[in-house]
Chains A and B, each alone.
Chain A
């Protein structure tokens, strides 16, 4: 009797395992073939020198590609630009997004849904379309930015808004903020709405209202949401591609490259596949580190 029981259990357990495996395997197959195997391929390929046309002509170079990267000034320019974009995005997108979320949460009474909808809208437009729209705004001949500057008597940059790398990197930031600030606002707004009304009532009794209450009471309470927002922005800043691809193609003379566009240039324009792989591995390490941070912070939440 006892034995029989165990057998039934075993049977249903293995049945469960069969169903579970059937449900789990497709996801694993897809991710393995198209994400993990290529990731390993990137690491392996980074130790070789080869080009697209001579795919079978791999030459072992050891750490040669990595040494090349450390001596390649444009790699450092690209990495530096990524970091500028990270910091500026955190200030512009998370910072302004927090202010907007706070205003929509408790600062205003009317039009919350309308404002939220408008500000979030650019998020659903493709980055290529966003870049092309802003291209006409920055255009030195027909752009409204020049027209506005001239109409109030200010001078405009002589090489145009996208011709001088010191200016164009900021034009890229303004465009990125245009697209992504609404996303941060919605994310942070969801966190704010989780803060109970009692907290504010208690704060008011203690004499903390308005901006003061927000700074000392609300912000610490949504700390985890802010960390996630900063991480998502940082990850996004390392993935930046379209704005630069459309605005400057990384130029003039590689001054506006970022890792993504520089990998693309090395791989598909210069056909330095091995070197492109080494650059990809550096991006991979940064991405996995940020992913690990995100996992840690979401576990705490």
Chain B
């Protein structure tokens, strides 16, 4: 019996310690936001004596509002395109006996493996030649492309398990595949659409490398690139930097807490 108790204490102790390791930096971020400069230097481990908001004003002065708006626009359009285009392609791959299907699926998997860093120079040259540097459209298009392979794989697994009887009935009634997809499949795919959309939203909201090379003007920067400006502007004013991070991070955390079920499901599906 006592052996079980010791095992139990070790188990709870381990997850508790790990949770503290995870929560501590977030706590430091929020507390530093409210501390005075003096407190930040003299009492790194202390709690702020008052809850001032001057740090927030400094952080917002670098343009966080507009960075956030840009991130919102980029995420919204890219995620919409990714989910629509991937769903359509995955449906064809899972339902229609095309000779090229196997080849297309291999291409998709290859696309999943290729990281943006491996195609950085030609991609930059292409977007530059199209005169799309420093435009949200110019970053939405490649981000959409890089989001498609993973989402196709996610939808493909879902459609394979999807009962075929309804579609067969619809085919007998004379519906084309196009009609079946939009009228029958899409309305019944809520959970997988939610999983895909949430996963891609988080990925695109946080994407750094492509945005870094393509968006150099402040008017078009997305949040991850804009956050670097905090450090440039308020070099050692940690209160302002942490205030900016708090503004950027807390909304994402709230969205995550609301939708975490779908998010965890889409990631867990990767292992299957």
Which A residues contact B (CB, under 8 angstroms)? Answer: 15-17, 19-20, 22-24, 26-28, 30-31, 33-39, 41-42, 45, 55, 96, 99-100, 103-104, 107-108, 111, 115-129, 132-137, 139, 141-144, 146-148, 151, 178, 181-183, 186-191, 210, 224-225, 228-229, 232, 235, 238-239, 241-242, 245-246, 259-260, 263-264, 267-268, 273, 276-277, 280-281, 283-284, 287-288, 290-292, 294-295, 301
B188 interface residue per 8 A CB criterion:
no
Would you call A280 and B119 a contact (CB within 8 A)?
A: yes
Give Cα distance in the complex from A121 to B250, angstroms.
11
Cβ contact within 8 Å between A260 and B117: yes
CA distance A265 to B131 in the complex (A): 23
Distance A269 CA – B17 CA, assembled complex (angstroms): 42
- A181 partner residues in chain B, CB cutoff 8 A: 18
- Within 8 Å of chain A (Cβ to Cβ): is B205? yes
Q: How many residues of B contact A (CB 8 A)?
A: 98
Number of CB contacts from chain A to chain B under 8 A: 291
Which of B25-33, B49-57, B189-197 has 4 or more CB atoms under 8 Å from chain A?
B25-33
A144/B44 in contact, CB under 8 A? yes
A290 proximity list for chain B (CB < 8 A): 113
Tell me if B223 is interfacial: C-beta within 8 Å of chain A.
yes
Q: Are A267 and B228 closer than 8 Å at their CB atoms?
A: no
The 10 A-B residue pairs with the shortest CB-CB distance, nearest first, are A291-B113, A41-B122, A190-B268, A34-B145, A126-B206, A27-B89, A38-B119, A19-B177, A107-B11, A23-B88
A146 — nearest CB in chain B belongs to which residue? Answer: B44
Whether B208 lies near A142 (C-beta < 8 A) is no
Interface string of B235-272 (1 = CB under 8 A from A): 01010011001001100110111001001100111111
Instruction: Determine which of B111, B238, B263 lies in contact with A142 in the assembled complex, contact meaning CB atoms within 8 Å.
Output: B238
- A38 and B88: CB pair below 8 A? no
- Known: A35-B119, A122-B22, A259-B117. Contact between A20 and B230, CB under 8 A? no
Q: Which residue of B98, B121, B178 is within 8 Å of A280 (Cβ)?
A: B121
A108 touches B121 (CB 8 A): no
Chain A neighbourhood of B152, CB < 8 A: 27
Q: Would you call B61 an interface residue if the criterion is a C-beta within 8 Å of the partner chain's C-beta atoms?
A: no
Question: What's the nearest-Cβ distance from chain A to residue B228, in Å?
Answer: 7
Interchain nearest-CB distance for A291 vs B (Å): 3
Supply 15 A–B pairs (Cβ within 8 Å), ascending by A: A26-B85, A33-B145, A38-B119, A39-B118, A41-B125, A107-B7, A119-B18, A119-B19, A126-B223, A129-B245, A132-B227, A144-B44, A191-B271, A238-B115, A294-B113
- Select one of A122, A225, A246 contacting B271, CB under 8 A: A225
Contacts of B115 in A (CB 8 A): 235, 238-239, 260, 283, 287
Known pairs A41-B119, A42-B121; list 6 more (Cβ under 8 Å). Answer: A23-B181, A116-B264, A137-B28, A142-B44, A239-B117, A287-B115
**Cβ B21 vs Cβ A178 within 8 A:** yes
In the assembled complex, B220 has its CB within 8 A of some CB on chain A: no
B249 touches A129 (CB 8 A): yes
Is A143 a contact of B44 with CB atoms below 8 Å?
Answer: yes
Q: Is the CB of A235 within 8 A of B113?
A: yes
Which chain B residues have a beta carbon within 8 Å of chain A's beta carbons? 7-8, 11-12, 14-15, 18-19, 21-26, 28-29, 32, 40-41, 44-45, 81, 85-86, 88-89, 91-93, 96, 98, 104, 106-115, 117-126, 141-142, 144-146, 148-149, 152, 176-178, 181, 202, 205-206, 208-209, 213, 223-225, 227-228, 230-231, 236, 238, 241-242, 245, 248-249, 252-253, 255-257, 260, 263-264, 267-272
Cα distance A284–B118 when bound, in Å? 5
In the complex, chain B residues whose CB is within 8 Å of the CB of A183: 267
- Do residues A295 and B107 form an inter-chain contact, with CB atoms below 8 A? no
Residues of B within 8 A of A235 (CB): 113, 115
Residue from the set A28, A129, A187, A287 with the largest chain B CB neighbour count within 10 Å: A129
Contact between B146 and A34, CB atoms less than 8 A apart: yes
A276, B121: Cβ atoms under 8 Å? yes
Known: A124-B253, A126-B248, A190-B268. A151 touches B45 (CB 8 A): yes
Contacts known (A39-B119, A122-B22, A267-B121); A27 close to B14, Cβ less than 8 A: no
Q: Are A125 and B119 in contact, with the CB atoms below 8 A?
A: no
Partner of B121, one of A125, A182, A190, A277: A277
Q: Is the CB of B256 within 8 A of A16?
A: no
Is the CB–CB distance between A108 and B12 below 8 Å? yes
Cβ contacts under 8 Å, B113 to chain A:
235, 287-288, 290-292, 294
Q: Cβ of A121: which chain B residues have Cβ within 8 Å of it?
A: 22, 26, 253, 256
A144 cross-chain contacts in B, Cβ below 8 A: 24, 28, 44-45
CA A35 – CA B116 in complex, angstroms?
8
Point out the residue from A118, A123, A273, A291 that lies within 8 Å of B109, measured CB to CB: A291
Please determine whether B29 and A276 come into contact, CB atoms closer than 8 angstroms.
Answer: no
Judge whether A242 and B230 touch: CB under 8 Å: no
Q: Are A19 and B176 neighbours in the complex by a CB distance under 8 Å?
A: yes
A42–B45 CB distance below 8 A: no
CB nearest neighbor in B for A120: B264
User: A122-B22, A290-B113 are contacts. A276–B120 as well, Cβ < 8 Å?
Assistant: yes
